[in-house]
Structures are given as C-alpha cells and as structure tokens.
Structure 1
Amino acid sequence: MRLTFRRSEPQPGTDDASGVTGPARVSPRTKDLTKRLSAGDIAVIDHVDIDRVAADALVTAGPAVVLNAARSTSGRYPNLGPEILVEAGIVLVDGLGDAVMSIADGHRVRVDGAKVFVGETLVAEGTLQTPETVAASLEEAREGLSDEIERFAENTMDYLRRERELLLDGVGVPDVKTEIEGRHVLIVVRGYHYREDLATLRPYVAEYRPVLVGVDGGADAILDAGLKPDMIVGDMDSVSDRALACGAEIVVHAYRDGNAPGLERVRALGVDPIVFPATGTSEDIAMLLTDDAGAEVIVAVGTHATLVEFLDKGRAGMASTFLTRLRVGGKLVDAKGVSRLYRQRISNLQLVLLSLAGLFAVGMALLATAAGQTFIGIVGAQLDTVWSWFGSLFRSG
C-alpha cells in the first residue's frame, strides 16, 4: 500500500536552505529505473551493494539525489558504485528502510541532509554518504574480502558439479543458424565502458566483419553504435522490442528446469527463438554457444574480467563466469586488449593512392612558385627533346 502525502511547492531539482526537491522515481530494480530517469529527478531504489554498472547508469541519467532503502555498501566486499555516485556530485542517502519505497512514483519529495520529506512529513532518515564515509566503508569491506572469496570458491565448485557436462563437453548447447565456424565473434554486454570500447573497435569491426552478439541490452548498444546484431542472447529482461525485431537470431536463456520468463515476450513479437536452458549468466552462455559453434576468436565488450567485477554483480551465479573463461580459454580476448594491439592494415591500393596524392600535392606546390614553374618548363623541354629523338628513330627506319 502506498503512502500519500500533501505535495510540496518547490520545483524539481532546486536547491535551497531546506535541501533538494524533485519528483521521485521509484523502483526496486535500478536498471529498470534508469530507463525513465531524467536530470534533476530523485531516484528511489532498494539496492544492496550498488555495483559499478548500476552507478554508471545512474550517473548517465543524471538524478539530483539517489535514495537507497538498503545499504549502498554492506561490507560484503568493496563495491565500486557509491564512490562513483559521490564523485559525480550526486547526493547519496542510504539505509532509509522500506518506508522510502512507499513513496508514490512522481510524487514531489524534499531531501534535507539525510532526511526525506513529502510535504512537511518526515518519511525516512538514513545516512548521507560523503567521500569520507564511502572511503571508510570500502576499507571495512576490504577486511572481509577473504570470506567473500571463500564463498565465491564454494559457489564455483557447486556450479562445476552441476554443469560439468556443459562446461567440459558442450552437452546441451543448441545448434544455431548464424554462421560462426572459423569467424571472429564480438560479444557485447552493456557493462563496464561498453560505449568507449565499441567506439575504439570500429576499425576492427569494419575489417574483420565479426559475428555481432548482443547479450540482452547489449543488442541495443550495438544498434546505437550504428551496427546490427547477428544474434541476441539473454533472458530478454532488458532488451528493447526494436532490437528483438531487427532480424537477429534470438537465443532465450532459460532456467535449468526449462522455465524461460522471456520466451512469451519474444513470441508475442512474432519471433521464433531458440531456448538454451543453463545456469549462470547470459554472457556465459553466449560465450559457450559461440565457442561450441567454432568461433576462431571471441572478443568481449563490457563483460567481467576481474575478481572484484565478478563480486560486483552481487550473486553466486558469477562463479559460472569464472569457469566459462577457463572453458573458452585462449579464444577469449577483452575488447581493451584488441583496441591496444590492433592496428588497421593498409592495402596496396591505399598505398598507391596515398603516393599519387602526395605527388599531386608536390606538383601543385611547384606550380605555385616562379622557381617551380621554371623547373617544370625545363623538365617539359627535356621530355619534348626525348620524344622528338624517339620519333626520328622511327622515321629513319
């Protein structure tokens, strides 16, 4: 049941002696909320251990304040999100409790320090995060990181026992129509720095023409970059209808029991998808599928590469990501490595055209000077003499 309060008068995003006011945008799922946030809004979330991807999405949306019902850093591990938000100048108040989630979406609220008001009614009070409090929380979390690593290892072994046949022998990987054998594959996840990585890889994409695989919202990232995905893999919770209808082959990630929440949505769009039941994350099954289909190289954009990034997802299933990388082995290359090592090759035709352009530029420069015109006149006279000599040889013959 939602709380109802008298609306306050200040305009959205204004700062005054009584704090910051604006319309509340409420959702327990941060990635859903960021799609409808506007600059100056007050984001209301329930997100334990705000991760880097969520924080980057919030910064891009530009809310004036982020109100978190949960603790932004629980101490489980040193998550990166709160630091990103505070450094971006966004007010972050966390530990507000369930009451803040009862604010009606769109209702005007006022944030004064760590207190949240609707009208003159105090709804909740939490902890105002500053660079100092964030640094202290991260330091405490680092002390408990060893326990989290142990849990991560236990989850890894559990996943290996359950998915041994899939990881070792590829049992259960479906056949796909997309031609992958012997080709490069570019897998795009809407994760860390995916926009920058896609931009730096444009010369690589233009030359090698890799198979473009979007993992859920990664398909929209591919479209936004002016490209078209060949395949979309995921549970279809964050990909747009535009991407699903673009003509790419669709692989729906289902639970191990075959339940696929995103299947009905895809079929409602008139698309007949492939279903891939597996535990783990959608980016994992995208790598396993393309590896099993014979990809020569798999380039990953926005995926997870370090232990902290694995933990930053905040769920036990990230253990599958670690094992998937062991399974794919030497085929997998991070996008940042490709952008650093790759240099676009220059063809012989390009070299010839470049040389001709250089000669033309030199000729035009010579024509622009008196000395150059004299030099060209002398060269022309010499060529005329040679031509006359050749002509006399044929006439004498």
Structure 2
Amino acid sequence: MADRRTKQLCKRLGCDHIALIDHPDVDEMAALALLDTGVQAVINLSPYMTGLYPAEGARKLLSAGVALYEIPAEWSAPKLTDELDGCRAWIVNGCLHVYSAAGDSRVIPLQSVTEEQVQAKWRQATDALDETLSRFIDNTLQYALQEKDLFLKPLCSLDLRTKMDNRHVIVVVRGKHYREDLQTLHSYIREYRPVLIGVDGGADALMQNGYKPDLIVGDMDSVTDKALLCGAEIVVHAFSDGRAPGKERVERLGLDCHVLPAPGTSEDVAMLLAFEKNAELIVTIGTHTSMIDFLEKGRKGMASTLLVRTRIGTKLIDAKGVNQLYQPRWSWKLWGWCVAAMLTPITAALAINPVARHAAQMLWTQWRTWSF
C-alpha cells in the first residue's frame, strides 16, 4: 500500500502489507501509527532522517523490529506512490518485486536502513541543533511580526450550540503522550465534566478513551468518518481567504458544519475559540509546543502558537506529558490499611448479628473437622 501522506496510508494498512511512504524525517507519531497497523516493512521515497533535527520515527520503528528501506534517488519519483498503490509486491534479496493487476512486473532496488546509519544521522542532527534552533527562532519572530494584527482581531462569530461560558474546556490533539495524558486526567474529566474539543484526529483519541467530543475543530484531514458522525458539533478551519477544503468532506457525510476562517494551526484556532467563548479554564492535551514538535509537522516556525498562547495567558494550562509528572505508588502499608478497612465492617457484623455469628461458628467447626 502506498500514499504520500503517512497518516492517510495508516488507515488502509494491514499486517500483511508493505508500506510505501514519502515522508522525510519520519516523526514519532507517524511511527506509532505505522506500528499500530502491525506492518513489518516500510519503504520510504525520502530519507528517514535528513540530519536537520533528531527525528524519532526511524529509531522507534527499528526498535520494534520493523524492516526499513529507502529507494535510491535515481529510482525515486513523486508518482511512484500512485503507480504502486494496491499492487502485489514482495521484498526479495534487497529488491522490491512488484506485480500490477495487468500482469506486468518490475524490480526496484532498495537500500536497507540500519540502526548504525540512523545513529550516525542522529548525532549529525544533534550537533546541528543550535543552528536549527537559531533559524527556527528567526522564522518565528519574522512571521509573528507579520501576523500579529490577525491574532489581535476576534474570530468570526459562530452561533455554537456548545456553550463554554465559565466552563472548563479540554482541547485534545493527537500529539505525543496523548493517550497516557487522557488516562491520567480521567478523574478530572469525570468530576468537572469539561467541554471536550477534538482537533481533527483528537476527536478519535477522545472516542478511543470512552469520551464523546462536544466539538470537532480542524481541516478534517485526519479525523475519521466515525468521529464526524458521533453527533459532535463541527467547525471546519478554513484559510484566511475563506477556502475550506474540509467542508466538502463534511457535506458528503450529510452533516452540518460551521466554517471558521483563521490563520495558524487548527489547535491554535480551537484554543482561541474556547477563549473567546469565555471558557473559565482551557486545558490542552497533546498540543505542539516545542521546536521539534513543529519541525515534525513540517512547520519552520511557531508564530501563531506563540501569539495565541500569549493572548490567552493564565487561562491556559498545558497538560502535555502530565502522566510523566506523577505516577501513583502502591505500598504494603497502603494495602494493609485497605484490607483493614474491608475487614472492619465484616468483623462488626459478625459480632453484632446472632445469625452471622452462628454461621461463623458453624464454618469454624467445619474447618476444624476438615483439618483433623
């Protein structure tokens, strides 16, 4: 199976498929999505690591035992994913043998990607990190100066049925550690009943953890039809000029939606929307906040996120990685107190109730008979 967009390909992959992607610097989330499919071999038209920054994807895949290959530059072509998608194929002796539906066959040489090669690229990327960070900061500040007026203006007013006034709001993005963070916040969600906003695939993340999103915000490129059909209110994030490619998909499903033209990323828009709807507190899970996060998304700066977070201020709490902050620890002392708490009412009942006391005496007599 082949696709230029890894997250779209993962929806169609199975454990008996070979994945053909065109994804330079494969990120950790893409690697985890590939691992979830059970695929055993991945071929990349682009380098798994370019050395620009220390991408985690290749290391994750190799450590899980997935065979990685790259196609030599002279054989690589943008249309190759379209040509090979759905074809029967085998990897034999370092070559990809492809058989089309018409009966034609072709052999494409492959370059195996080893752990030593990945580690060498990792060291190269780590050494260049200061220079990469400098360029990232310059790009962020340049775009922040150009876009600041856009973020000072309020968003287009939307007549939402989802009310957020004076309520807690959780914005979920399918970023690093989102599963663990959602599980850690289970008690908080159960007690406070916050408004749940899924940003694209974040809606699926909520549903996988047993929650129904109240609002789905995004350009609709990674959310599943199942999530869109769950009954949540839908806000399609459009370009600043009004173009909204995601609207067509929503309408094909026969669903109503709001269109919200705005600059920046969909997670920025979701946070701004909650802020302008007078949310009391905005908690984010899985959002992108660091340079590596944004480079993995193919963005060379984080101007919109910097401006949005500066505007929202103290109402915003980032729960990303909260599961790593504290893990409950069970001790023998705690177990002892739990057992004592359970035995206390049982002992009291036996002491007070004559029927229960008589039953206990009969059991004790029977046990002694068996013992001897």
TM-score, L = length of structure 2: 0.81
Per the alignment, residue 336 of structure 2 pairs with: none
Q: Work out the CA distance in 2 between the residues paired with 1:307 and 1:212.
A: 26
Relative to structure 1, is the Cα distance of residues 173 and 127 closer, same or farther in structure 2, using a 3 angstrom cutoff? farther
Per the alignment, residue 29 of structure 2 pairs with: 53
For 1:266-345, list aligned pairs within 5 A.
Answer: 266-316=250-300, 318-330=302-314, 331-337=316-322, 340=325
Relative to structure 1, is the Cα distance of residues 363 and 53 closer, same or farther in structure 2, using a 3 angstrom cutoff? same
Per the alignment, residue 194 of structure 2 pairs with: 210
Work out whether 1:149 is the aligned partner of 2:133.
yes
Q: Work out the CA distance in 2 between the residues paired with 1:126 and 1:187.
A: 42
Contact 1:173–1:289 under 8 Å retained in 2:
no
Q: Write the letter of the residue equivalent to 1:294.
A: N
Work out whether 1:185 is the aligned partner of 2:169.
yes
Q: How high is the sequence identity, in percent, across the aligned residues?
A: 44
Of 110, 134, 142, the match for 2:90: 110
Per the alignment, residue 334 of structure 2 pairs with: none
Shift of 1:252: 0.7
SS in 1 for 2:198: strand
Contact 1:253–1:275 under 8 Å retained in 2:
yes
Relative to structure 1, is the Cα distance of residues 327 and 356 closer, same or farther in structure 2, using a 3 angstrom cutoff? same
Q: Work out the CA distance in 2 between the residues paired with 1:76 and 1:42.
A: 27
Shift of 1:334: 1.4
Contact 2:216–2:232 under 8 Å retained in 1:
yes
Deviations along 1:366-389, whole A, 9 cap, x unmatched?
4799xx88xxxxxxxxxxxxxxxx
Relative to structure 1, is the Cα distance of residues 122 and 272 closer, same or farther in structure 2, using a 3 angstrom cutoff? closer
Q: Work out the CA distance in 2 between the residues paired with 1:122 and 1:356.
A: 71
Deviations along 1:108-157, whole A, 9 cap, x unmatched?
32224643223696633343222211111111112222333233223322
Shift of 1:174: 4.4
Contact 1:255–1:277 under 8 Å retained in 2:
yes
Q: Write the letter of the residue equivalent to 1:231.
A: L
Per the alignment, residue 81 of structure 2 pairs with: 101
Q: Write the letter of the residue equivalent to 1:101.
A: T
SS in 1 for 2:19: strand
Relative to structure 1, is the Cα distance of residues 327 and 111 closer, same or farther in structure 2, using a 3 angstrom cutoff? farther
Q: Write the letter of the residue equivalent to 1:363.
A: A
Relative to structure 1, is the Cα distance of residues 268 and 122 closer, same or farther in structure 2, using a 3 angstrom cutoff? closer
SS in 1 for 2:237: strand
Q: Work out the CA distance in 2 between the residues paired with 1:342 and 1:180.
A: 31
Q: Which stretches in structure 1 are left out of the alignment for 5+ residues?
A: 1-24, 344-353, 374-397
Deviations along 1:202-230, whole A, 9 cap, x unmatched?
21111010100011111122122221111
Of 332, 345, 362, the match for 1:360: 345
Contact 2:44–2:71 under 8 Å retained in 1:
yes
Deviations along 1:188-246, whole A, 9 cap, x unmatched?
11221222222222211110101000111111221222211111100011222232232
Q: Work out the CA distance in 2 between the residues paired with 1:125 and 1:30.
A: 22
SS in 2 for 1:316: coil
Number of matched pairs: 338
Of 13, 33, 38, the match for 1:37: 13
Contact 2:184–2:322 under 8 Å retained in 1:
no
SS in 1 for 2:108: strand
User: Which region of structure 1 is more displaced relative to structure 2, 293-302 or 25-34?
Assistant: 293-302
User: Which region of structure 1 is more displaced relative to structure 2, 329-338 or 180-189?
Assistant: 329-338
SS in 2 for 1:74: coil
Work out whether 1:233 is the aligned partner of 2:217.
yes
Q: Work out the CA distance in 2 between the residues paired with 1:319 and 1:77.
A: 19
Per the alignment, residue 368 of structure 2 pairs with: none
SS in 2 for 1:118: strand
Q: Write the letter of the residue equivalent to 1:292.
A: E
SS in 1 for 2:140: helix
Relative to structure 1, is the Cα distance of residues 318 and 175 closer, same or farther in structure 2, using a 3 angstrom cutoff? farther
Q: Work out the CA distance in 2 between the residues paired with 1:126 and 1:322.
A: 42
Q: Write the letter of the residue equivalent to 2:90.
A: R
Contact 2:200–2:220 under 8 Å retained in 1:
yes
Q: Work out the CA distance in 1 between the residues paired with 2:301 and 2:251.
A: 27
Q: Work out the CA distance in 1 between the residues paired with 2:112 and 2:281.
A: 46
Q: Write the letter of the residue equivalent to 1:49.
A: D
